[in-house]
């Protein structure tokens, strides 16, 4: 039987590819919608580059 093409299957494929190529999955809990960024990722970037 052929694999069904769905939005969730597409999302899983893209996410799997990104994770396999050093992308780090974030947490929705630290994402600041009002500011448009992930506060923990921003702080980690600043600490790692300063």
User: pTM value?
Assistant: 0.58
Please report which confidence band the pLDDT of residue 2 belongs to, taking 50, 70 and 90 as the band edges: low
Query: Cα(11)–Cα(13) distance, rounded to whole angstroms?
Result: 5
Q: How many Å apart are CA 50 and CA 48, to the nearest integer?
A: 6
25 Cβ neighbours under 8 A, 6+ residues apart: 15, 19
pLDDT tens per residue, range 25-47: 988 999 999 999 999 999 999 99
Contacts by residues 37-40 (CB-CB < 8 Å, ≥ 24 positions apart): none
Predicted pLDDT at 3: 65
User: What's the CA gap between 26 and 16, in Å, rounded?
Assistant: 14
């Amino acid at each position: 039987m052929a694999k069904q093409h769905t939005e969730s299957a597409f999302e899983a494929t893209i996410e799997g590819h990104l994770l396999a190529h050093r992308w780090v999955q974030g947490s929705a809990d630290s994402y600041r919608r009002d500011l448009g960024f992930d506060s923990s990722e921003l702080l980690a970037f600043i600490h790692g580059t300063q």
